[in-house]
Amino acid sequence: MRNAPAYEVRHLRKVYNDPKVLANDGITFSVQPGETFGLLGPNGAGKSTVVKQLVGLVAPTSGEVRLFGEPIVAGAGAEMRVGRTVAYLPQAVLPLGELKVNEALRWTGMLRGLGKKTAQTEADELIEVLQLGSIVDRQMRKLSGGQKRLTHIGMTLAGRLPVLILDEPTADIDPSLRRKIWGLIGDRTRHGAAAILVTHDVAEAEHALGRVAIIDRGKVVASGTPAELKADLSHRTRIELVVAEGAGIDVRQLAREMGGDTRVRGRHVSAWVPADLALRTLEKVMAWSEPGQLEDVRLVTPGLEDVYLELRGHAFEEDEAGSVDQAGDD
């Protein structure tokens, strides 16, 4: 349908039955062509469940998913229809053991309608950017986890489908290549593709995403551009400092001197203070300590990660440590 959003998701609710889990509880968003949209949230928040419903692999308990205006109904050949429009990278890596890297990329392009020559040219470009040159003739089953994932990212990009959905694409990839991957995806959206990216790495996503929805326990708890989400925090600054080992400073006393909303962990102090008091607080810290007693001092402007942590409150870190991601391979 002309002018329809790439994806429109309304009141999506998913209850799994075995075990009984309310994984999505009324999720609504839409994504336009040309947009890079992020689904952020901690492990178990329900992100993978959303994308599995987007591609017709899981049926919603209630609610609606439309792809360019057409409803997606799981089963009923949905996967075939979605497959012609949407390149989907699942969180769990698919077994494609016997294929060689070069074949996997070229054939994916051909499956998506490119001629053999164009498909090979495109495969060569992807091999170059993703630094797969030394392993093009290696079978997928003989690759490391990171190499497999890179090859799958290449396959998602091959053939230039109008919609990309990547579930935790950069999970086991070097930081330097991560940037290139976000860059490749950004390039596709500038050319009109719609991209939906799932990640729990908020700091990394901040630069790559145009708009985000933060999901927690099956609900969208905040959405907007990273700048919009950060606006609420912009009147505050965080001071991070590390007391030198054996400096003989009472860290808790120092934290009290600083005032504001302060947390102490070992030798680390983290304090939120009103932005206009940041420098004065820093002066107080300097006056209170001797040169050499502080190992590191920095002023941190709030980022998207702070919004995220703020939303979850202090419960987040406890949750994170205790939760296991059972996602991806059901």
Binding residues vs ligand ADP (CB under 6 A) = 16, 19, 21, 23, 41, 43-49, 325-327, 330
The three-point CA angle 82-84-86 to 5° equals 55
Contact status: 327 vs Mg ion (CB under 5 A) = yes
C-beta nearest to ligand ADP: residue? 327
User: Which residue of 24, 36, 48, 151 would you call a contact of Mg ion, by CB under 5 A?
Assistant: 48
The option from ligand ADP, Mg ion, none interacting with 21 (CB < 5 to 8 A, set by class) reads ligand ADP
Classify residue 99 by burial, with Cβ atoms within 10 Å: 0-12, 13-18, 19+: middle
Tell me which amino acid residue 316 is.
Answer: F
The residue among 164 and 278 lying less far from ligand ADP, judged by its C-beta, is 164
The option from ligand ADP, Mg ion, none interacting with 43 (CB < 5 to 8 A, set by class) reads ligand ADP
Cα–Cα distance for residue pair 131/147, rounded to 1 Å: 9
Residues 86-125, one symbol each (x = binds Mg ion by CB under 5 A, - = not), give: -----x----------------------------------
Neighbours of 125 (CB within 10 A): 15
Q: At closest approach, how far in Å is the CB of 51 from Mg ion?
A: 8
The option from Mg ion, ligand ADP, none interacting with 23 (CB < 5 to 8 A, set by class) reads ligand ADP
Cis bond upstream, residue 291 (ω within 30): no
DSSP string computed for 115-174: -HHHHHHHHHHHHHHTT-GGGTTSBGGGS-HHHHHHHHHHHHHTT--SEEEEESTTTTS-
Q: At closest approach, how far in Å is the CB of 328 from ligand ADP?
A: 6
Residues paired with residue 220 on neighbouring β-strands, in sequence order: 215
Binding residues for Mg ion, per CB under 5 A? 47-48, 91, 327
